[in-house]
Amino acid sequence: MPCLSAEQLGKLAIRDEDELSADLIEAQFQLREGRGSIKGKSVLILISGIELAGKGEAVQQLREWVDPRYLMVKAEVPHPLTQSQPFWQPYAGFIPAEGQMKLLFGNWYSDLLATAMHVSEPINTEQFKDYVQNMREFELDLQANHVHVVKIWFDLSWKALQKRLDKLDPSVQKWQQLHGLDWRSQKQYDTLQKLRSHFTDDWICIDGEDEERRDQQFAQVVLSALKQPLSEITPDAITGPWKKSKIPETLTQFDDEVLAEDDYKDQLKALSKKVAKAMRQDERNVVIVFEGMDAAGKGGAIKRIIKKLDPREYDIYTIGAPEKYELRRPYLWRFWTKLPKNGDITIFDRSWYGRVLVERLEGFAKPFEWKRAYDEINRFEQDLMDNQTVLIKFWLAIDKDEQEKRFKAREVTPHKRFKITDEDWRNREKWDEYLQAAADMFEHTSTDCAPWHIVATNDKNSARIAVLEHILERLKASK
């Protein structure tokens, strides 16, 4: 792992403590002030390293120099990487909001190291490297979304470690067990260092032997992270003209076949039972996403999916404009906390695809933001699917005339009045742009494991049946 070289870190002169402290406090203030502006970012510091290298002491010293109220520190117990959830999921709650600085002792790397060192079937080197790569990509996505990630490894030589173990005060042993490792075993020490060598080269390595130098280096690294402009941490923007995808015929051509009411009822009854049974028997999480034009019948389709389920077996989330506190975090963040666990079912009525639909068309996401969102979303979905989740995505397609008919019907039906607003009529004016955005979305996010199902909904009955059939088929196929 190519750390900042000893030379480079060595160049950091020991600074006057009061001046360093004043600079840190000023930088903290600037970070908070930048909130909501184009300079707005947050800082996430991941800490790992050899036991007794002085992680805790360095952070303690940092907290004396900064305003401690604005440095949040979290120490989680390790979460072994078991493929029951993506590595980032336990940490979703700790991702800092714009203007915040957070420091994580326990983090996805300590989980990875703990998993590699501990579990009965340890992961092999290739898997380890895959995880590291995956983590790096996740961090780049964080950075593109204004979360500046800094990773610091506190190192200590074998000899220095043994010396410190000799001198150990038994009253501070509380933290020795952090990785539950035997630090007297050179073999274990070497294994850990070997694993660590597979880390990506954006880690900063601080030697823990000289305590004053260690604390100074750490504080100065943090200071430079606080001060680094957002533009410098953001991955390269995607530039060049945007290549529009062809609009699929299924979005614009509809046949007029209608499923008769009696046939519909029979099919619905049988299918909704089958779907409930299949979802219940499937031990994986099921995530179902609905997108589509207004009035295309998302609500009605959802009602039929849950018909034979117990209300304790599923969650439904209706996704609207993000709240202010959600806007201060990566746009995917508000979905990280809504994902199912333990084989449950979660239905999203609109979803993260808002990034490349409404946010793109209304200008809430800048071009370089929505352009890179396709890949971000693919990575996010891949992480879910790699961790025991079936993802089923629907686009409910409707004819422009049929939409107008439904809008007008809503306006005169008392309990449907609220379903139609001026905004719906405004969105309708951008019909063609929405079709184009949908086409681009299919092109870039319809993957083998998570294809888009485009369902024509001019006839509501056959649309609902088609949705249920697709779910059944996907549950079977992806086993």
Regarding 265 and contact with a copy of itself (CB under 8 A), the answer is no
The single-letter code of the amino acid at 205 is C
Residue 36 within binding range of a copy of itself, rule CB under 8 A: no
| Touching a copy of itself, residues 331-370 (CB under 8 A) | 349
Task: Point out which residues pair with 207 in neighbouring strands.
Answer: 155
Quick one: which of 26, 190, 401, 404 contacts a copy of itself (CB under 8 A)?
26
Q: How far apart are CA 181 and CA 173, in angstroms?
A: 13
Q: Which residues in 155-184 contact a copy of itself (CB under 8 A)?
A: 171, 174-175
CA distances from 250 to 53, 255, 258, 457 (A): 61, 10, 17, 11
Pairwise CA distance, residues 179 & 471, whole Å? 43
The answer to whether the CB of 108 falls within 8 A of the CB of 87 is yes
The distance of closest approach from Cβ of residue 418 to a copy of itself in the complex, given in angstroms and rounded to an integer, is: 4
Using the rule CB under 8 A, which residue among 39, 129, 280, 428 binds a copy of itself?
280
Does residue 139 come out as left (phi exceeding 0), alpha (psi in the -120 to 50 range) or beta? alpha
Please, which residues have CB within 8 angstroms of residue 151's CB and are 6 or more apart in sequence?
A: 45, 46, 48, 109, 139, 199, 202, 203, 204
For residue 46, the cross-strand partners are: 104, 151
Which residue among 7, 232, 310, 429 contacts a copy of itself (CB under 8 A)? 310
Nearer to a copy of itself, 69 or 187 (CB): 69
**Region binding a copy of itself by CB under 8 A among candidate stretches 60-68, 148-156, 182-190, 256-264:** 60-68
Instruction: Give min distance, CB of 309 to a copy of itself, in A.
Output: 8
| Residue 242 binding a copy of itself, by CB under 8 A | no
Smallest gap from residue 238 Cβ to a copy of itself (A): 33
Looking at beta carbons only, is 4 or 66 nearer to a copy of itself? 66
Chosen residue from 121, 262, 323, 429 binding a copy of itself by CB under 8 A: 323
- Give the Cα separation of 62 and 394 in Å (integer): 50
- Rounded least distance, CB 340 to a copy of itself, Å: 13
Place of tokens 């809430």: 364
**Residue (of 3, 345, 329, 319) closest to 152 by Cα position:** 3
Identity of the residue, 282 or 315, whose beta carbon is nearer to a copy of itself in the bound complex: 315
CB 55 within 8 A of CB 159: no
Return residues touching a copy of itself (CB under 8 A): 21-23, 25-26, 29, 33, 56, 59-60, 63-64, 67-70, 72-73, 75, 103, 105, 171, 174-175, 277, 280, 299, 302-303, 306-307, 309-312, 315-318, 323-325, 349, 414-418
